[in-house]
Chain A
Amino acid sequence: AQSVTQLDSHVSVSEGTPVLLRCNYSSSYSPSLFWYVQHPNKGLQLLLKYTSAATLVKGINGFEAEFKKSETSFHLTKPSAHMSDAAEYFCVGVRGSGNTGKLIFGQGTTLQVKP
């Protein structure tokens, strides 16, 4: 089974500075990986997904993530933070093999953006 670990429970950045949210995964096979964002009082929204077609994945709102097999990492980045990026971010894998769609979420990283 696959698992994901988010290395930071809380990240604080200033507006306009880069964002880095770290995620490591463990999987005995080619993983399926996603990043979801959760704004207060709203549902979870898909930011991007790794489909094995390309190691650098671009998502919505300027976010991107790079799949690094050698480091078993799938870190989320953005060159310049905006106040509206403040939210909780989840690195997500898929439980078990096969296409069951059973998502397994990391613990989450709360991103704070300071003016």
Chain B
Amino acid sequence: GAGVSQSPRYKVTKRGQDVALRCDPISGHVSLYWYRQALGQGPEFLTYFNYEAQQDKSGLPNDRFSAERPEGSISTLTIQRTEQRDSAMYRCASSLAADRVYNEQFFGPGTRLTVL
């Protein structure tokens, strides 16, 4: 596929369970971003990577959230001990590089997480 893909598209889990959300960026894109979008709100930055290096994780809400991109391609956002307030749309984006701010970020369709 030519675009950013995310899986699963929908995830329903029970409070206290761990979840892993996957993002497959556009091939060759250096930078990968994670955003969280609550209902009725705009997306909020969580973290981003250049290649495999996590450059900024200032947007992660707390230490239950973590992300990795071990080989500089696919990334996984993990939420441990999920809580109901974690319910949101989680969006991934990739771009050619972050060193030029005007590089377009291409967004995936998102993963809708519902914590019961």
Contact = CB atoms under 8 A, between A and B. Distances in A.
Contact of B95 (A90, A101, A105): A101
A103 B105 contact: yes
A106 B42 contact: yes
A57 to B, nearest CB: 12
B56 interface: yes
**B-side binding surface: helix, strand, loop or mixed?**
loop
A105 B42 contact: yes
Nearest to A97: B101
A100 interface: yes
B109 to A, nearest CB: 5
Interface string B93-116: 101001111111111111000000
A45 interface: yes
Given A42-B109, A43-B4, A105 B44 contact: yes
A94 B33 CA distance: 13
A100 B55 contact: yes
Contact of A43 (B40, B101, B103, B107): B107
B3 to A, nearest CB: 7
Given A106-B42, A107-B42, A108-B42, A94 B110 contact: no
A44 B91 contact: yes
**A-side binding surface: helix, strand, loop or mixed?**
loop
Given A44-B107, A49-B104, A101 B43 contact: no
Interface in A2-51: 32, 36, 41-46, 49, 51
Interface in B36-61: 40-45, 48, 55-56, 59
B87 interface: no
B41 to A, nearest CB: 6
12 contacts: A41-B109, A43-B107, A43-B108, A46-B105, A99-B99, A100-B48, A100-B101, A102-B33, A103-B35, A103-B45, A103-B105, A106-B42
7 nearest interchain CB pairs? A105-B42, A44-B107, A101-B98, A43-B107, A99-B101, A43-B109, A102-B45
